Amino acid sequence: MDLLVLGGTAWLGHAVASAALDAGHRVTCLARGDDVPAGADLVRADRDHDDALAGVADRSWDAVVDVARQPGHVRRAVRDLEPVADRYVFVSSVSAYASQAELGADERAALLPPLAADEYAGADEYGAAKVAGEEAVVAGFGPDRATIVRPGLIGGPGDPTGRSSWWPARFARSAVGDSGDVVVDAAADGPDEVLVPLAPELPTSMVDVRDLAAWIVRLATRGPGGAFDAVGTSRPFPELIDAARRVAGHDGPVVTAPPEWLLTQGVAQWAGPRSLPLWIAEREAWGMNARSGAAARAAGLRLRPLDETLRDALEAERRRPDAGPHGSGLTLAEEAELLAAVPRA
Ligand SMILES: NC(=O)c1ccc[n+]([C@@H]2O[C@H](COP(=O)([O-])OP(=O)(O)OC[C@H]3O[C@@H](n4cnc5c(N)ncnc54)[C@H](OP(=O)(O)O)[C@@H]3O)[C@@H](O)[C@H]2O)c1
């Protein structure tokens, strides 16, 4: 297959290009940067410009994979590539759905209204921008030649957001002693106790970037068309914590903090500074990590065990040359302050 990846220099796009090369396909990436996998051709272009795709629209493609976030990028790519490409796989998001309240929902759920503008202004418009991209792809390529992939949280090695590696990395900082075959971090520098939110019912899910990339290549190769929620298995938050402790070799004390108390302390949810990553207090948002995913699995998405995703995410963190923070989570100082004040049973 001759595959055009619109992107390829960041996390998922790079993984898609790598997976396609591994499967023996010819890969061309189009991006402004140049960090594409060895073996891929690169066309450097800025998709903010109307004629950005001129260098790839003069030849034919078996498939296009697009990770764009801006509707204008997608609209122009569909305009320029429909005449020369057989199939278009667009990476959207579960953020495209109008509601995140329902647990177990599937692709029949209502989407947000599409963003009319070519560019979205802020995170609030991200989902609507994805819907606009989806609509452009389906309108241009038709339902049989268009595949829409809506990932939930993507996890695994190299996660630029640091969300999927945060809990294993945090437990590794407090892991000491002999933990069987687990490599315990020799530089463990955390306190004995680890603070976790009390969230027994909170659903979590994580699709491994490598599983997602391999499946996207498969979809690019032979479809089917349609829309698919590409989500990991949904499990309660304590199971994620247990898995993170297992891969980090942590068997020390864990202190649970009630969600209402954490909110009064200004602890943020999901991601970002002073957050407990992947924690969500508001039930109206819980559905985003509890989508069915049955259609994607029926269409060939294979999910590796969560422990493997977390273990590899932790190992990748340990190999990061600067080992600096991703900008998500509590600092040890913030955590120590909270541990000193948390109401204990
Ligand atoms: N992380 C998650 O948990 C999650 C969940 C759901 C959905 N998603 C979706 O998954 C995808 C992730 O993609 P990704 O990891 O490859 O990262 P990304 O950060 O979304 O990548 C953007 C890619 O597009 C390229 N790009 C951006 N602006 C461009 C421009 N003006 N001209 C040309 N190229 C441009 C970037 O390359 P250059 O900067 O080199 O130009 C980069 O390769 C996205 O579609 C995201 O919305 C992510």
Distance (Å) from CA 1 to ligand 1 centroid: 22
pLDDT at 242 over 60: yes
pLDDT at 182 over 80: no
**86, 145 Cβ separation under 8 angstroms:** yes
153 lines ligand 1 (CB under 6 A): yes
- The identity of residue 95, as a single letter, is S
**Can you list the domains of the chain with their CATH numbers?**
2-151 (3.40.50.720), 158-204+234-284+305-341 (no CATH)
**30, 43 Cβ separation under 8 angstroms:** yes
Distance (Å) from CA 149 to ligand 1 centroid: 14
β 235-236/203-204 pair status: antiparallel
257 lines ligand 1 (CB under 6 A): no
Tokens of 299: 């269409």
Q: Which is more confidently placed, 18 or 184? A: 18
3 lines ligand 1 (CB under 6 A): no
Average pLDDT for 101-119: 98
Of 151, 170, 149, the C-alpha closest to 313 is 170
46 lines ligand 1 (CB under 6 A): yes
How sure is the predictor about 175, in pLDDT bands with cuts at 50, 70 and 90? confident
How sure is the predictor about 319, in pLDDT bands with cuts at 50, 70 and 90? confident
Average pLDDT for 223-249: 97
Residue 262 DSSP symbol: H
Distance (Å) from CA 107 to ligand 1 centroid: 23
Residue range 296-306, pLDDT digits in tens: 999 999 999 99
Q: Which residue has the tokens 């495209």?
A: 96
The answer for 249, left when phi > 0, alpha when psi is -120 to 50, beta otherwise, is: left
Tokens of 185: 């971090």
Question: Candidates 4, 5, 6, 12: which one to mutate for ligand 1, based on the most atoms within 8 Å of Cβ?
Answer: 12
pLDDT at 216 over 50: yes
Count the alpha carbons within 13 Å of 28 in the hemisphere toward its beta carbon: 18
Q: What is the pLDDT, as a whole number, of residue 326?
A: 75
CA 205 to chain CA centroid, Å, is 10
Residue range 52-61, pLDDT digits in tens: 999 999 999 9
Distance (Å) from CA 343 to ligand 1 centroid: 42
The answer for 263, left when phi > 0, alpha when psi is -120 to 50, beta otherwise, is: alpha
Least confident among 142-151, 172-181, 239-248, 285-294: 172-181
Beta pairing partners, 229: 150
Contacts of 222 (CB under 8 A, 6+ apart): none
Question: What is the average pLDDT value for the chain, to the nearest integer?
Answer: 94
278 lines ligand 1 (CB under 6 A): no
Distance (Å) from CA 91 to ligand 1 centroid: 9
Based on its alpha-carbon atoms, the radius of gyration of the chain, rounded to whole angstroms, reads 21
Q: What is the pLDDT, as a whole number, of residue 179?
A: 47
Residue nearest to atom 21 of ligand 1 (CA): 10
Give helix 237-248 / helix 306-319 axis angle, nearest 10°.
Answer: 50
Of 25, 6, 13, the C-alpha closest to 222 is 25
Q: What is the pLDDT, as a whole number, of residue 322?
A: 63
Q: What is the pLDDT, as a whole number, of residue 318?
A: 86
